[in-house]
């Protein structure tokens, strides 16, 4: 009887300790823009902000960070990546289940894509199809809405010294960028022909007009895409802890210790 009492007391202590710890974590998190820890986020061309939290909820905010809509799906695992190139057709990638869910501008589900490919990275195409990087044969592929293969590149390993496993894909101005954060960017044209490789320990890549922006060593850099001899230019130092940041107008939104923050370029 005494032994059972000790066990019960021990369980009660663990329970109370766990509750105290969880409460302390919530109380310790203090963020002025969004009051919960953010795992990742994106900003679309209209300045709308999409956050992913640690409960796997996707939330849409306007430019003033007023909550508009929320999407939650607990059947497909964690969200790996969201593509907000087209705010009317947002692609949500669940790599654990190899599925892409499309939602509209209210985060209501439109359609799903699933194929017999080993998808490592995705990105929306301008013609409403899907770019994927297939880990089975190491090729960049464009897939139609009916799961039809529209085009594909040669295997990436066939290009001299090109060793990349992209995290995401961006199509911009008839070029396709396969980004592996911390390694570099493989650049193709929109027919799947390899163009060049941009090396570097970079993250949070986004493109606007003829400019590429990215984070490197705690600062935001800009590279002019239409000038083959252009050198990268530092826009603003943020913090060495920051890996994710996006610019909209003159504001920089960034994540530091899972807290959404904002600063100006000037």
Distance CA 38, CA 63 (A): 17
In three-state secondary structure terms, 245 is strand
pLDDT of residue 31: 92
pTM: 0.86
The answer to whether 32 and 263 have CB atoms below 8 angstroms apart is no
**d(Cα 58, Cα 37) in Å, to the nearest integer?**
12
pLDDT at 264: 93
State residue 116's pLDDT score: 78
pLDDT at residue 158, as a whole number: 86
Coil vs helix vs strand at 175: strand
Residue 219 forms beta bridges with which residues?
216, 237
- pLDDT for position 27: 54
Report the first-to-last Cα separation within the chain, whole angstroms. Answer: 71
All residue ranges of the chain with pLDDT < 50 are 1-26
What does each C-alpha distance from 98 to 14, 76, 113, 138, 237 come to in angstroms?
Answer: 38, 9, 9, 16, 37
Measuring CA to CA, how many Å separate 111 from each of 72, 89, 108, 134, 145?
Answer: 15, 10, 10, 21, 9
Residue-level pLDDT at 145? 81
């Amino acid at each position: 009887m005494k032994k059972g009492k000790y066990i019960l007391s021990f369980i009660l202590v663990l329970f109370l300790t766990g509750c105290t710890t969880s409460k302390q974590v919530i109380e310790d998190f203090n963020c002025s823009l969004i009051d919960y820890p953010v795992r990742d986020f994106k900003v679309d061309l209209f300045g709308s902000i999409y956050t992913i939290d640690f409960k796997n909820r996707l939330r849409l905010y306007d430019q003033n960070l007023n909550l508009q809509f929320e999407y939650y799906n607990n059947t497909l695992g964690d969200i790996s990546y969201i593509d907000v190139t087209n705010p009317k057709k947002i692609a949500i990638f669940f790599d654990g289940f190899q599925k892409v869910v499309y939602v509209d501008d209210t985060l209501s589900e439109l359609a799903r894509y699933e194929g017999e490919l080993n998808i490592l990275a995705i990105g929306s195409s301008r013609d409403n199809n899907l770019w994927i990087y297939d880990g089975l044969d190491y090729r960049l592929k464009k897939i139609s809405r009916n799961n039809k293969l529209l085009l594909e590149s040669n295997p990436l390993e066939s290009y001299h010294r090109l060793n990349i496993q992209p995290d995401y894909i961006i199509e911009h101005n008839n070029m396709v960028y396969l980004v592996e954060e911390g390694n570099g960017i493989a650049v193709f044209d929109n027919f799947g022909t390899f163009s060049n490789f941009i090396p570097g320990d970079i993250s949070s890549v986004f493109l606007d007009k003829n400019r590429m922006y990215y984070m490197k060593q705690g600062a935001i850099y800009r590279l002019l895409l239409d000038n083959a001899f252009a050198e990268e230019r530092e826009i603003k130092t943020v913090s060495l802890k920051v890996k994710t940041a996006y610019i909209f107008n003159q504001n920089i939104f960034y994540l530091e210790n899972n807290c959404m923050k904002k600063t100006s370029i000037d």
